[in-house]
Copies of this chain bind each other. A is one copy, B any other.
Amino acid sequence: MKSETGNIGIVRPQFYTFGEPPHELQLESGQKLGPITLAYETYGELNSQKNNAILILHAFSGDAHAAGYHEGESKPGWWDNMIGPGKAFDTNQYFIICSNIIGGCKGSTGPSSENPKTGRPYALDFPMITVGDIIQTQRYLIDHLGIERLLCVVGGSMGGMQALQWVASYPERVKCCIPIACTLKHSPQQIAFDEVGRQAVMADPDWQEGRYYGTGRQPERGLAVARMIGHITYMSDQSMEAKFSRRLKEKNYSFNFQTDFEVEGYLRYRGDNFVKRFDANSYLYVTKAMDYFDLSDGKLFPHGKTVPTRFLVISFASDWLYPSYQSTDIVKQLRVRHVDVTYCEIKSTYGHDAFLLEVEEETQLIKHFLKVTSKRP
């Protein structure tokens, strides 16, 4: 086993399709969905006992490309600094799976996918989905990969909510769970930010009640505004001060409505960029799934009995979108049920983005936790 860390190299996108009619999946809303394609990637090798599989779950706008490089691309996956030989999720030891989500727009079935009944994109005919539905589809993928019990489910932000849902839905199939910078339920403030983003999208006349596919127009301006709001909530007051302060783009105030401050330019850039890589209807569906998410009041243990899953709960001091008290609420709920849980608040100034940036601290915590968990029966 190498001690230094390395890169994975070239990886390829994979897809699994299931739920062909008449075997559609029953969703929580009562509606059915099928066929369903899930995009995913894997890194490392599944061992013969099939007990070294780790499922990584991504945040709101993430995708299955967590590590390594796609052929011809120079930018690695979104958590590449955490996944690879010798890294936190060590591909010399573990078989890493990163699964995308339904409702999204990154290769899995979502509102921009073709509706088999009409031959056109679903748009708003796509059924509403929940985090429970997302995890149900991922279970099909894990079945397909021949894995009975995952060593670990882990993710930050919405990825952490998915990790918690895995335990709620299939406790016997998860040996340990690492929810990072997340919550048992969206607070009214989190719902409010999501709702404003949705209203920004739906207020854009180019949204066309969701039927913008193929019209040559899509709600670019509304989606960009929604993303700008998001980016403010991902950073902290401190990290914005450190990154931008009141620095101007030009020497003096413009005295017009162009970009005066660097922070304005950054937000506009991020908003415009997002539009190129994200589907506006997916924005609506996935934020709604997050708002519906609620595992509070014992719903993390819907079957009544305490689960054998071990937990490592991580939060960040300056994260005001998913504040630390939401992570300690998770811890409290676990302790009441005598679940084995370790909690760490990392003293970061990066705000919610910290789960992608505090690599050293996270690596130390996660590496040790996985090592100990692997040795347990």
Question: What sequence of 0s and 1s flags, for each residue 192-226 of chain A, a beta carbon within 8 Å of any chain B beta carbon?
Answer: 11011011101111000000000000000110110
Contact in complex: A222, B203 (CB < 8 Å) = yes
Per assembly, the copies of the chain total 2
Chain A, range 259-291, C-beta contacts under 8 Å to B: 260-264, 267-268, 271, 284, 288, 291
**Complex formed: what's the CA distance from A196 to B221 in Å?**
11
**Complex formed: what's the CA distance from A161 to B195 in Å?**
30
In the assembled complex, how far is the CB of residue A103 from the closest CB belonging to chain B, in whole angstroms? 13
A246-B294, A263-B191 in contact; A128/B225 too (CB < 8 A)?
A: no
Contact in complex: B225, A263 (CB < 8 Å) = no
Contact in complex: A187, B291 (CB < 8 Å) = no
Q: Which of A2-10, A56-64, A236-244 contacts B (4 or more CB under 8 A)?
A: A236-244
Q: Which of A66-74, A250-258, A308-316 contacts B (4 or more CB under 8 A)?
A: A250-258
**Complex formed: what's the CA distance from A29 to B260 in Å?**
14
Of A127, A203, A204, which is in contact with the most chain B CB atoms at under 10 Å from its CB?
A: A203
Q: Which residue of B lies closest to A285 (CB)?
A: B257
User: Binding site of A, secondary structure by majority: helix, strand, loop or mixed?
Assistant: helix
List of B residues within 8 angstroms of A128 by Cβ: 253, 255-256
Contact in complex: B199, A224 (CB < 8 Å) = yes
Instruction: From the candidates B127, B224, B288, name the one contacting A257 in the complex (CB within 8 A).
Output: B288
Question: What sequence of 0s and 1s flags, for each residue 321-355 of chain A, a beta carbon within 8 Å of any chain B beta carbon?
Answer: 00100000000000000000000000000000000
List the 7 closest A-B pairs by CB distance, nearest first: A203-B221, A29-B255, A128-B255, A188-B263, A188-B240, A188-B244, A195-B264
Residues of A within 8 A of B (CB): 29-31, 124, 127-128, 185-189, 191-193, 195-196, 198-200, 202-205, 221-222, 224-225, 228-229, 231-232, 235, 237, 240-241, 243-246, 253, 255-257, 260-264, 267-268, 271, 284, 288, 291-292, 294, 320, 323
